[in-house]
Each structure stands twice: as structure tokens, then as C-alpha cells.
Amino acid sequence: MRAVLVFCEGNHDVVFVSRSLGAVAGCKWSKERIRDLPSPLGPKVDPRDPNKFVFDSLITKHYRAQKLEDLQPRPAAHAPVPTFEAVVRDPSTLIYYVLIRCNGDGASGRSIKLIEDFRNTFPFHPDITQIASAFVFDADADVSARAAAFTAAYARCLQPGAAMRHDDWMSGPLGPAGLYIFHDPATRAGTLEDSLAPLVEAQWKDRWDAAGRYLTAHARPEDPVSLKLAERHKAQINVTGQFLFPGDPMTMVLERDGLQQRHFAGPTSQSLVAFLRRAPF
């Protein structure tokens, strides 16, 4: 079996990637329990004794490694990044896409270790024997600067001296690695929210416009929504969605009970899915 580990900056990216894979490629969300996932995502059962494992689930092992006694109660209540958020499978290629939230470069060391831990199971013949690692990040101020920052933070995944670019894959010491950066081609800057905003506007036009007027009327110059377009988009998406999801975060607006599936088959979704499906195993 083959799998692409898709490292996403945040929850919004995870939802966008999973829904795009569903809308564009017909991928199906896995509802399996961790124990039933293909190893090493799930445990590898000893063929001589079904009650024993050759090795434990990589997901279980990752979460158990957290030293709770060293944490305060609030952070101890949440899994440490990188976190396993979803598993989807392409029915035509049978490739698994494992969606992992990693908070960008901040957890690069732990993300790289996760890839190494996955590869360290290969001598024990897991179900998944080939992996590629895809990183899906925002450009923010500049796509080239973002690619350079990624290259520095994730150098252990890349060929020595190589420079990663947007929408590109390369072979590396930890297997194939690829980088996809959300940005506006015209400005070479931006975030995922620049693509999400038109989708929300298209579905709830009146509420979107009213949310924009509310923000314009009441935002102060020093507020984040006045200083950064991505923050403005997040706020406007949230206000628009509060009619259906009062008190819930933005991810609920993007989920299946919110935005319709047709919105995740547009140009950005198609470009992203094409990138993921080009993983050079």
C-alpha cells in the first residue's frame, strides 16, 4: 500500500484538503478505528497470536509519547502537534492521504521525526510500504520567501543544497517530498482564506455582504481585521456562518453541513489535488 502524509498548517487547511480530495478525486473519508487502519497507522498484528502486536499503531505511539506530568492542565487536554486529523483514500489509485496538522514550520522537527518513525517500521513489513510527504502552507507575504523558509526548516527531508518550490516534488533521504503554497498568482502573496472567501460569498451572498458591512462599520484601525486581509476574511467567514453555526469555529462553516461540496471543485482545489496525486512514489 502507498500513503501520502499531508502536513497542513491548521484546521482550515485540513478541511479544505480533505473536501477537495473528495470533490475532485472522489476520495472517501475513512471511518475505521485506529486499530483497524493499515499498519503502521494501525498496529501490526502478530500472525501467530492475534492478541499481540508486532508493533503498535504509529498514531497511538505518537500520542502516548506526550509527558503529561510536565504540562499544565489546559495544554495537557489537547494532543501535541503534529496531530493526525483524518485519513481519506482514493478509490481509483487506492492511495491513502493522511491529513496531519503541523502548524507550519513551528513543529518541523516533530514532523520530520514522524516521517522517520513511519519509515522505521518498514523493516517489519507494515501494510503501507511506500510514503511521500506533502506540505501544504500559506504564502503570507511572498511565495518565494515561504518556499525558502520551508527549505531551511525541512532541509532533512530534501536533497543537500536543494531549494524547494511551490507545486513541486523532489526525492529526498526520507522519501519524496512536495510543497504546495496557497497564494494569489498575480501578487505572489496570500493565504488559503483568499480562496475560501469567494466560496462562502457564493453560497451565502446576502449574509456575506452584511457581515462585511458590519466589520467595516465597527472595526478599529488597530484591530487584526483592519491590518491583514486574511484576518478580515476569517472574521467575515465566521460572522456569515454564525447564523447556522452559532458559537462554533470557522471549521464548521467549511465542513459538510456548511459549504456545499460543489465549492471544493474549483481551480484551487483542482490544482491542489493534481499536486497531491503527482506524488512520485
CA distance 248 to 274: 31
pLDDT for residue 32 is more than 90: yes
pLDDT for residue 70 is more than 90: no
pLDDT recorded at residue 103: 86
CA distance 99 to 215: 33
Q: What is the mean pLDDT of the chain?
A: 94
pLDDT recorded at residue 79: 81
CA distance 201 to 197: 6
pLDDT recorded at residue 75: 80
What would the grid cell of residue 53 be? 502486536
Confidence grade of residue 19 (pLDDT, cut at 50, 70, 90): very high
175 has which bridge partners? 173
Does residue 87 contact residue 96 with C-beta atoms inside 8 Å? yes
CA distance 201 to 181: 23
What would the grid cell of residue 52 be? 499481540
Query: φ, ψ for residue 65 (rounded to 5)?
Result: -70, -15
Cis peptide bond upstream of 82, omega within 30: yes
pLDDT recorded at residue 64: 87
Q: What is the mean pLDDT of residues 39-55?
A: 89
pLDDT recorded at residue 238: 95
Per residue in 255-272, pLDDT (tens digit) is 988 999 999 999 999 999
Task: Label each residue of the chain as H, E or C.
Answer: CEEEEEEECCHHHHHHHHHHHHHHHCCEECCCCHHHCCCCCCCEEECCEEEEEEECCHHHHHHHCCCHHHCCHHHHCCCCCCEEEEEEECCCCCCEEEEEECCHHHHHHHHHHHHHHHHCCHHHCCCCCEEEEEEEEECECCHHHHHHHHHHHCHHHCCCCCCCCCCEEECCECECEEEEEECECCCCEECHHHHHHHHHHHHCHHHHHHHHHHHHHHCCCCCHHHHCHHHHHHHHHHHHHCCCCCCCCHHHHHCCCCCCHHHHHCHHHHHHHHHHHCCCC
pLDDT recorded at residue 108: 94
> Strand 44-46 relative to strand 177-182: parallel, antiparallel, unpaired?
unpaired
Per residue in 128-140, pLDDT (tens digit) is 999 999 999 999 9
pLDDT for residue 214 is more than 90: yes
pLDDT recorded at residue 66: 80
Query: φ, ψ for residue 191 (rounded to 5)?
Result: -140, 175
How many C-beta neighbours within 10 Å does residue 21 have? 27
Say what percent of the chain tops pLDDT 70: 100
pLDDT recorded at residue 145: 97
pLDDT recorded at residue 135: 98
Confidence grade of residue 102 (pLDDT, cut at 50, 70, 90): very high
pLDDT recorded at residue 77: 81
pLDDT for residue 111 is more than 90: yes
pLDDT recorded at residue 153: 95
138 has which bridge partners? 182
Residue showing cell 505572489: 188
The CA-to-CA distance between both ends of the chain, in Å, stands at 11
